[in-house]
Amino acid sequence: MSKKETTNPKDFRNQNYEAKKMNTYENAKKKKDRDLPWWVELLFVQIGLPDKLLIKILKAKKSSKEFIKNDKKSLITFLFLIITFAYFYPVIKHSKNKLDCQAIAKNYIIKNKNTKGISKREIKMLSTNFCYGGEEIYEIKNLKN
């Protein structure tokens, strides 16, 4: 009677893993047969940029992927802040321009018109009116009457 040879499935898996892990000629050939990305083909093969630049680009790509993978929460927070500022920037700019216009109009009214009988609040009102398209000269003439 002969004993049946039994194979241990764990040993078989380990052998396959080690064979795949080894850098054999077949594995190297498979890696070389893959097509290059279009940007590598264009920049480094056709144009002829130096290989050192390619190495730096690939390292930066790898480190950025790791950064995104590890710091998703802080990256999302940063993007939320940027989007919030971008959303409110036109409102802030419009308000600043409006205040600048009122200051310029107030200085113009004080410098060029007779404002002895007009209070500061009325001058501010006239400058606001002027910035929105009103005619401050007409308003000053009507206030004196």
CA atoms within 13 A on the CB side of 51: 0
Measured over all CA atoms, what is the biggest interatomic distance in the chain, rounded to whole angstroms?
Answer: 131
Percent of the chain with pLDDT over 70: 70
- The whole model's pTM is what? 0.47
24 against 82, higher pLDDT: 82
pLDDT at 121 over 70: yes
pLDDT digits (tens, 9 = 90+) for 56-99: 999 999 999 999 999 999 999 999 999 999 999 999 999 999 99
Q: What is the dihedral of CA 42, 48, 49, 52, to 10 degrees?
A: 110
Cα dist. 66→53, 57, 59, 63 in Å?
20, 14, 11, 5
Amino acid at position 37, single letter: P
What does the pLDDT read at residue 26?
61
pLDDT given at position 24? 61
What's the pLDDT score for residue 122? Answer: 87
Average pLDDT over residues 112-124: 83
Greater pLDDT, 56 or 33 = 56
| Secondary structure string (H, E, C) spanning the chain | CCCCCCCCHHHHHHHHHHHHHCCCHHHHHHHHHCCCCHHHHHHHHHHCCCHHHHHHHHHHHHHHHHHHHHCHHHHHHHHHHHHHHHHHHHHHHHHHHHHHHHHHHHHHHHHHCCCCCCCHHHHHHHHHHHHCCCCHHHHHHHHHC
pLDDT of res. 120: 87
